[in-house]
Amino acid sequence: MNARTTRTLAAALSLTAALAISGCSSSTASSGSGSSSNASAGAQAGESAKPKMTVSGGYMPEPVNDKMAGAFMVIKNDSNTADKLVGVTSPLSDDLQVHETKDQKMQQVQSMDVPAAGELKLERGGNHIMFMGLKNKPNVGDKVTVELRFEKADPVKVELDVKERTYNAQNSTAH
Ligand code: CU
C-alpha cells in the first residue's frame, strides 16, 4: 500500500515535470513588422493605461571583435498593463536581435514579455539583446546607445556602459 502510493506519486511528479518542460514552447506567431498587432482580442477600449518602462543597469561586455556583442539590463514595467519588447535599434549596428537562451542555446524571438508591474531581466546566460555585426568595436569605458521598442509603451533610449569582458552585474564586486 505504502509502496504503491509512493510509486503513484513519483509517476505524477514526473508527469508534471514533463508538462512543465513542454509547456514553454513558444508561439512565435505571425506578423513580423510589428506595425499592426492584429489578433489581440482583448485590445478594445481601455487605451488609458499606457505602460511606462524604466531601464537600469544596462551594459555591454567588451566584444571580442566587431562581429557580435551582447547587451544586458533590467526593464521594469511600472504600470498595470503587460507589454512586450518588440525590437531594438542602435547606431552601432543595423541588426539587433532579441535572444532567449534555452538548454544553453540561444535563439531569436520576435518579442519578449514585460509583465505588468514586473520586470524583464536581460542577463548573462539568459535573455539578452544581441548585436549582429558592429560598425566599430567598442572598448571598455565607451557608451553604446540603444533604443528599445515596445508594443505599447513609448520607446526608451538606454546608454549601455561597455564593461570588461568578464563583467557580470550579479557579482559586480569581483575585480
Ligand atoms: Cu544571442
Compute the mean pLDDT over every residue in the chain, rounded to the nearest whole number: 81
C-alpha dihedral sign at 175, 58, 86, 146? negative
How far, in Å, is the centroid of ligand 1 from the Cα of 97?
8
- Give the phi and the psi of residue 132 in degrees, each rounded to 5: -105, 100
C-alpha to C-alpha distance for 154 and 21, rounded to whole angstroms: 34
How far, in Å, is the centroid of ligand 1 from the Cα of 122?
11
- The tens digit of pLDDT for each residue in 82-135 reads 999 999 999 999 999 999 999 999 999 999 999 999 999 999 999 999 999 999
How far, in Å, is the centroid of ligand 1 from the Cα of 46?
36
Query: Where does residue 28 rank: exposed (0-12), middle (13-18), buried (19+ CB within 10 A)?
Result: exposed
Residue 8 confidence (pLDDT): 54
Considering only CA atoms, give the Rg of the chain.
20
C-alpha to C-alpha distance for 147 and 69, rounded to whole angstroms: 16
Residue 6 confidence (pLDDT): 52
> In this structure, what C-alpha cell is assigned to residue 101?
537562451
How far, in Å, is the centroid of ligand 1 from the Cα of 58?
16
Percent residues over pLDDT 70 in the chain: 69
DSSP letter at 13 equals: H
- Give the phi and the psi of residue 149 in degrees, each rounded to 5: -110, 135
Confidence band for 3, pLDDT divided at 50, 70 and 90: low
Indicate if the pLDDT at residue 22 is higher than 50.
Answer: no
C-alpha to C-alpha distance for 95 and 155, rounded to whole angstroms: 17
- The tens digit of pLDDT for each residue in 137-157 reads 999 999 999 999 999 999 999
Global pTM reads 0.70
Task: Check if the beta carbon of residue 103 is closer than 8 Å to that of residue 96.
Answer: no
How far, in Å, is the centroid of ligand 1 from the Cα of 66?
15
C-alpha to C-alpha distance for 30 and 26, rounded to whole angstroms: 12
Residue 120 confidence (pLDDT): 98
Residue 169 confidence (pLDDT): 82
